[in-house]
Amino acid sequence: MTELIYYQDQFKKEFDAKILKIDGNRIILDKTIFIPQTNTEPGDFGKINNMKIAGSKKDGKHLWHIFQKQIPFQEGDSAKLELDWHKRLKGMRFHSALHLFAGPFDKTFAKRPVAGAVKGNQAQLIFKEEISDEIIDKSLHQANKDIETGLEIKSYWDKKKKGFRWTQVGDYIPIPDGGLHVRNTKEIGKINLVSKKVEQGKQKLVISLE
Ligand SMILES: [Zn+2]
């Protein structure tokens, strides 16, 4: 199993690890700073031993780092990891923005989103029902107020369930998730609502960040 350094320190940009296993163009490391992609987020990019990775991906229990080209490494080799920090920071800001934006909907209006996703320079929240313009406006206003005020963002492991992680923004309800976050809502930047659509009865809100 790979030790997940990104959960210990989400600001680690470089790290020395070891290659445990090679399978075609993909490798397993003993430790990593690259968070894998999920169905809703792109995950990390960067370089290993100066070769660009196409990403990292979980396959069963294993976390694979994938290359586009044939790799010259061997099992047991050391691996110098360099994170694409620009992409990581953008991902953390969007991911944190989704947490925060969800907060007022839940706390003030008992409307909890059912999904969130980060895509390129936008992110989206999905609700299982249509949400009124008034609730959307008030929640957005509150979220941007929270960004100005600055709320702490904390992630922690569940005390009983192994490998289960929670994230809490300010005193909004904690949400189970495995993502990475900025430390304070001030680091998110202002949230802009790009579009609000209802698709098959579900409310979809698309946001961008300033
Ligand atoms: Zn999260």
Centre of ligand 1 from the C-alpha of residue 164, in Å: 12
- Domain end, chosen from 37, 66, 83, is at 83
Which tens digit of pLDDT belongs to each residue from 1-54? Answer: 899 999 999 999 999 999 999 999 999 999 999 999 999 999 999 999 999 999
pLDDT in the model for residue 1: 87
pLDDT in the model for residue 161: 92
The total number of structural domains in the chain stands at 2
**What is the extent of the structural domain holding 70?**
3-83
- Domain end, chosen from 61, 83, 105, is at 83
Centre of ligand 1 from the C-alpha of residue 75, in Å: 33
Centre of ligand 1 from the C-alpha of residue 177, in Å: 5
Is there a single domain that holds both residue 61 and residue 100? no
Contact 168, 158 (CB under 8 A): no
Is there a single domain that holds both residue 114 and residue 185? yes
Which tens digit of pLDDT belongs to each residue from 139-184? Answer: 999 999 999 999 999 999 999 998 899 999 999 999 999 999 999 9
Q: What is the CATH number of the domain that holds 41?
A: 2.40.30.130
Q: Where would I find the beta strands (DSSP E) of the chain? A: 3-4, 14-23, 26-29, 31-32, 46-48, 51-59, 62-67, 78-83, 115-119, 122-127, 153-157, 165-169, 175-176, 191-199, 202-209
pTM score of the predicted model: 0.94
Is there a single domain that holds both residue 135 and residue 93? yes
Centre of ligand 1 from the C-alpha of residue 78, in Å: 31
Is there a single domain that holds both residue 180 and residue 130? yes
